[in-house]
Structure 1
Amino acid sequence: MTATTDPHRPAPVDLAHHAHLTGVFAPQREEVDAADLPVHGEIPDDLHGSYLRNGPNPRFDPIGSFVYPLDGDGMVHRVTLAGGQASYSNRFVRTPMIELEEQRGQALWSGITDGYTPPASVVGDELAGTTRELPDINIVAHAGRLMAMQESDRPYRLDPRTLATVGKEDCDGAMRVGSTAHPKIDPRTGEMVLFNYSLEAPYLTWSVVGADGRTLRTPTPVHGLDAPMMIHDMALTEKYVVLFVNPLVFDLAAVMTGGALLSWQPERGTRIALIPRDGAAIRWIDTEPFWVWHFANAFDNPDGSVTVDYVEHSYPGGFATSTAPNPASLMRAQCDPVTGAINRTRISERTGLEFPRIDDRLLTLEHHRVATVGKADTDHDELDSLWFHDLRTGRDTVWTPDVAVGEPIYIPGTNRDYWGAIGTDPVDMRSRFYLLDADNPASGPIATIDLPIRVPAGLHGTWITVHRPSLTL
């Protein structure tokens, strides 16, 4: 039996009328290598490195369902800057699902919310009953490993030179039970700290990989949860692993009767776990319900409290039905591990923000610059502007390139620093990489690089500096 004769195979998704499969989100099926890209302006000579970005990109037209950003195969894009020139390459993260689908020339696995899994008669005994692997959220470099991260599973390791898929990675056992897409790397110790949630007790674990790539802490239970919860991101200080456990619950009973996999249960409130990195007892702090996708940073204060900067939503859009406002505000929480007190204040009066980033060299330390993606006062449906928040002065500045722009990345140079981002013009569908002066980003790009193909709107990325310009990235 082939996939086309499987009587239970779901119908194709209607790409033409799906908001996240058309326009700037439309999948890209080409793998490209291009050098000497056209540059408008000038790439500074002190920049030698690569920006890598991951994102959902279905290899074949999806079947059953497609829920962005949870569904879609991983595609890693790389823009390399060296010697004043730019090059580009991209590769699919080749999971067993993609490899078999390429042999058949069509999608065999449906979206993760559809409930369909292909039988052995279609995909063989080894893959029968499996769901699609989704290493399409983030890209992380640590201890010589380049990893395409997925949600609550082990990542896929890539060859840093070619971007070819090497295979699944467990980081010397630290990711034995999986990892979420957002581990954090302490720039002072070189340690990578990660967490993972699962559908079975103890529901939540954390672990640590040393700077040399060896496991310093194996997956360690975080006790205190009575149900499986979705937790997308984490924060890290010099003393604590910080987890915001918002009340988005995996409802397996509802799934068995045709209901939704994830249930928003605000009556549970939000619980914040301050997990001492030295292994001491966890401190839980309870507060009102809200949702967090992404953190900017966190740091310890002299009085023992912990400051956490993040984007707060009233509820997780797409996973909760509500007509209440959902402003997506840049927030600061002051948490006291002794008294359990928490104070949340808005950092910026602007709303509709997401994808907060800082200079990664300041992770775990006090910082004063945060960049986010948002919407300016335009008619665009997509996020179309980069916002820069000065936490010392409380001043926000904005650069609006009149394109759909993605998550910013802080790029340290030898002589000065920069912000970078990929954007796509929704009119001509051309993608470009924009390089901004970190000290004056609102003035616009000092260099705009034309990319050889359209880069679909995606998720998270990283900058890798290379100190030897001759090294191939």
Structure 2
Amino acid sequence: MAEVIVDRKLPLQASEEHNEYLHHDAFRPVDKEITATDLSSIGDIPKDIDGVYIRNGHNPVYQPKSGRYHWFDGDGMVHATTFADGKATFRNRMVMTTGLAAEMEAGRGLYPGLRDGFEAEEGLKNSSGTDVVLHNGEFKTLFSRCGQPYRLAADDFRTLGPDDFKGSWERGISAHSKVDERTGELIFFNYSFNSEPFMEYGVIDKDNRVSSVTAIDLPGPRLPHDSWVTENYTVLHDLPLYWDSALLALGKKKLKFDRDLASRFGVIPRHGSGGDIRWFECEPTYMLHTVNAWEDGDEIVAFGFKQLTPIPKIPRETPSARVQNYFLSFQFNQPRLTEYRFNLRTGKASERIVDEQCLEMPNINARYLGIRNRYAYNTMAAEIPYFLMSGIQKFDLQNRREVDRYELPKGKYMGQPVFSPRVGGKDEDDGYLISYVSEANHAEIYIWQAQTLGDGPIARIPLPQRIPGGSHAYWGNGSDIREAQMRQTANSH
């Protein structure tokens, strides 16, 4: 029988009429942090799962000063499950950012929100609720607006504070910074639309210090969200979706998608300088999330989800609080899995859509990040207009075809799954897919065998608290956590 401890009650105050991200059962915030040990399961939890499944997301506590809430304003909350010896322990914890701590002390919201326009940008709270990675033996939560990451302890997920990388970098890093598990490096970019440089690119070493950083020359401010990495290169994005520059000069914000402007992808050596970058032009699009990339002779092969309609058409009568649903729904953005090729010898680029289905939020076996891999685990966009998914597709990148899928029962939704390598496994897909699955007021953890995904979950773990829809997830290998902690202990003596 699971033991559940309520660690903290949260004084939820955020509210806005018509805002489903505050009131819909799939998203409304939870009001307590808990620890649940010795969780029961339907089907045995495999004993060769060793590590942490952690998902970040937005759990708003206080009202933005304007009273208008955008989902990305919500305070970061991680939902983390530790697996060892066939047992699972669940914890959810607020990311105690500087902003949230100040609001808790004041007992009210102190910051503007994303829907408050240009004047809010300088005063936005870093919610640190977008993504999470494991680096240097700690989890790090990341913010979509390139804020400073926050460090979380790998055992109980308490917030250790903002990360300045031992004093070597005090500015922000991209929400989708990449961890190369083979080298221990963290690869990042930073962007600004207020001042030059509009982009910076760098690498943090395995001991958490900047090993290289450089400015990237862009023609103006942009809104890049992701990148690709290979063994020797990083591919940065300059896409024609950005804030209208004429309005920015007037202190106003409006997104513009310029179909007459090419998408540019900049290939830079991993530790290179801005002068080394080579730009490749492709069809205009926007891309939220990439899958993987690798070097193939003279070419870099890269897979990601290009959007067919980066700015969706919004019905005129849509209430203000629901406008964000269109921008946060893959059903409206229409992402398509696309293969890009950048030839470093000829300077030519090519692209082709390899799957016409509406999918996104991918995951791979992270040991293969930046090298040739075969399988991607993409999630199916749910029909309702929110950031929710309805199943998993297993896609063969080498043969450009779907090889398996699992669709959730009607009424159940999931977020991004993670791939957990089986302890002792040899093949790329020898492991498990793990995800939180919710319906109304109930949540479970689903575990699938990655090699037989379509057979359905081999284990389901009911949770004592529902889980709101969230953003991105990560799998932290137990062996990686222990190795980094041993290295830190040795270095401290």
TM-score normalised according to structure 2 size: 0.83
1:368 equivalenced with 2:397 (yes/no)? no
1:328 equivalenced with 2:331 (yes/no)? no
Q: Any stretches of 5+ residues in structure 2 without a counterpart? A: 1-12, 316-325, 425-429, 486-493
Task: Tell me which amino acid in the other structure corresponds to 2:280.
Answer: I
| TM superposition shift of 1:437 | 0.3
What are the Cα deviations for residues 204-249 of structure 1, in whole angstroms up to 9, with x where unaligned?
A: 11111112223211x31112x1211011111101121111211122
| TM superposition shift of 1:431 | 1.0
| TM superposition shift of 1:46 | 1.2
Please give the secondary structure, in 2, of the residue aligned with 1:440. Answer: helix
Which residue of structure 2 aligns with residue 17 of structure 1? 18
What are the Cα deviations for residues 306-331 of structure 1, in whole angstroms up to 9, with x where unaligned?
A: 00011110243469999998431111
Q: CA–CA distance in 1 between the matches of 2:202 and 2:166? A: 11
Please give the secondary structure, in 2, of the residue aligned with 1:445. Answer: coil
1:318–1:67 Cα change, 3 Å: farther
Q: CA–CA distance in 2 between the matches of 1:189 and 1:405? A: 31
Instruction: Select the residue among 457, 470, 493 that pairs with 1:445.
Output: 457
The question of whether the paired residues in 1 share the 8 Å contact of 2:241 and 2:285 is answered with: no
Which residue of structure 1 aligns with residue 200 of structure 2? 205
* Aligned CA-pair RMSD: 3.0
Task: Tell me which amino acid in the other structure corresponds to 2:70.
Answer: V
Which residue of structure 2 aligns with residue 308 of structure 1? 302
For 1:194-343, what aligned pairs fall within 5 Å after superposition?
Answer: 194-199=188-193, 200-217=195-212, 219-223=213-217, 225-251=218-244, 253-255=246-248, 257=250, 259-279=252-272, 281-302=276-297, 304-317=298-311, 326-343=333-350
Q: CA–CA distance in 2 between the matches of 1:456 and 1:436? A: 21
1:319–1:211 Cα change, 3 Å: farther
What are the Cα deviations for residues 93-139 of structure 1, in whole angstroms up to 9, with x where unaligned?
A: 11232123223433232312314989xxxxxxxxxx73211200111
What are the Cα deviations for residues 233-266 of structure 1, in whole angstroms up to 9, with x where unaligned?
A: 1110112111121112234652565743533233
Please give the secondary structure, in 2, of the residue aligned with 1:267. Answer: coil
Task: Tell me which amino acid in the other structure corresponds to 1:408.
Answer: P
Which residue of structure 1 aligns with residue 172 of structure 2? 178
1:197–1:401 Cα change, 3 Å: same
Task: Tell me which amino acid in the other structure corresponds to 1:436.
Answer: W
Q: CA–CA distance in 2 between the matches of 1:250 and 1:468? A: 40
1:163 equivalenced with 2:177 (yes/no)? no
The question of whether the paired residues in 2 share the 8 Å contact of 1:263 and 1:319 is answered with: no
1:353 equivalenced with 2:359 (yes/no)? yes
The question of whether the paired residues in 2 share the 8 Å contact of 1:112 and 1:132 is answered with: no
Q: CA–CA distance in 1 between the matches of 2:463 and 2:311? A: 32
Task: Tell me which amino acid in the other structure corresponds to 2:366.
Answer: D
Task: Tell me which amino acid in the other structure corresponds to 1:55.
Answer: G
Q: More helix by proportion, 1 or 2?
A: 2
1:360–1:236 Cα change, 3 Å: same
Identity of aligned residues (%): 30
Please give the secondary structure, in 2, of the residue aligned with 1:34. Answer: strand
Task: Tell me which amino acid in the other structure corresponds to 1:149.
Answer: L
Q: CA–CA distance in 2 between the matches of 1:468 and 1:73? A: 28
The question of whether the paired residues in 1 share the 8 Å contact of 2:137 and 2:480 is answered with: no
| TM superposition shift of 1:447 | 0.8
The question of whether the paired residues in 2 share the 8 Å contact of 1:13 and 1:65 is answered with: no
TM-score normalised according to structure 1 size: 0.86
1:319–1:270 Cα change, 3 Å: farther
Which residue of structure 2 aligns with residue 384 of structure 1? 390
1:23–1:193 Cα change, 3 Å: same
Q: Any stretches of 5+ residues in structure 1 without a counterpart? A: 1-11, 119-128
Range 387-396 or range 366-375, more displaced: 387-396
Which residue of structure 2 aligns with residue 110 of structure 1? 112
1:380–1:397 Cα change, 3 Å: farther
1:384–1:209 Cα change, 3 Å: same
Please give the secondary structure, in 2, of the residue aligned with 1:41. Answer: coil
- Alignment length, in residue pairs? 444
Range 146-155 or range 104-113, more displaced: 104-113
The question of whether the paired residues in 2 share the 8 Å contact of 1:274 and 1:283 is answered with: yes
For 1:128-143, what aligned pairs fall within 5 Å after superposition?
Answer: 130-143=123-136
Q: CA–CA distance in 1 between the matches of 2:295 and 2:79? A: 35
1:158–1:15 Cα change, 3 Å: same
1:85 equivalenced with 2:90 (yes/no)? no
